[in-house]
């Protein structure tokens, strides 16, 4: 019985050592694989641009093409576009109508302000002219409509 007992202890000891070695081996392989991530190599650097060398060719006809000009929109510069009619609603317009109870509507087209009165008469004021601008401001106060933006600048394509 003593021999069988020693045999069992010996077998247990060998089994424990074998399992410990196997476990440490597996642990080592797994940790080595996880640390050695394969990274993709960086892309190669771009090739240097070579200088273009021109050859003088004699007795050959070289065809040249002129650049193609694409026109998005043809604009008639001689006749300017009509500016849109602008009307204002909201607090600024409400204040204007409270100050001027005889006015039923106000609009602007370019630099010309049109006032429609409740009695049906229409008054037009060209705000580019100093006298008309002054008479409008004296009669009605400040306009609720902002001045028009500057005209667009067109460049000629030759």
User: Is residue 145 packed enough to be buried (19+ CB in 10 Å), middle (13-18) or exposed (0-12)?
Assistant: middle
pLDDT along the chain (158 residues), means of 10: 68 82 85 73 80 56 61 63 75 85 88 90 91 91 79 69
CA-to-CA dists, residue 47 to 36, 42, 54, angstroms = 31, 15, 21
**Which sequence spans correspond to the domains of the chain?**
1-33, 85-140
Residue 118: DSSP 8-state? T
- Look at residue 64 in the predicted model and tell me its pLDDT: 62
> Tokens 């429609």 correspond to what residue?
116
- Look at residue 70 in the predicted model and tell me its pLDDT: 60
Residue 96: DSSP 8-state? H
- Look at residue 125 in the predicted model and tell me its pLDDT: 92
CA-to-CA dists, residue 99 to 20, 91, 104, 140, angstroms = 98, 12, 12, 8
Give the span between the Cα atoms of 8 and 6, in whole angstroms. 5
- Look at residue 121 in the predicted model and tell me its pLDDT: 93
pTM of the model: 0.44
> Tokens 């849109």 correspond to what residue?
84
- Look at residue 93 in the predicted model and tell me its pLDDT: 82
- Look at residue 57 in the predicted model and tell me its pLDDT: 55
- Look at residue 111 in the predicted model and tell me its pLDDT: 85
């Amino acid at each position: 019985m003593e021999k069988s007992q020693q045999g069992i202890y010996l077998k247990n000891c060998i089994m424990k050592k074998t399992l410990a070695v196997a476990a440490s081996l597996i642990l080592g392989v797994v940790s080595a694989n996880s640390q050695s991530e394969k990274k993709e190599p960086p892309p190669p650097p771009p090739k240097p641009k070579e200088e273009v060398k021109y050859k003088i060719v004699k007795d050959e006809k070289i065809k040249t093409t002129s650049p193609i000009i694409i026109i998005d929109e043809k604009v008639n510069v001689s006749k300017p576009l009509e500016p849109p009619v602008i009307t204002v609603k909201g607090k600024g317009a409400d204040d204007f109508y409270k100050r001027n109870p005889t006015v039923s509507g106000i609009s602007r087209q370019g630099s010309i302000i049109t006032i429609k009165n409740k009695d049906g008469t229409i008054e037009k004021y060209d705000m580019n002219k100093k006298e008309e601008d002054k008479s409008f401001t004296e009669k009605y106060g400040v306009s609720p409509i902002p001045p028009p933006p500057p005209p667009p600048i067109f460049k000629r394509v030759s």
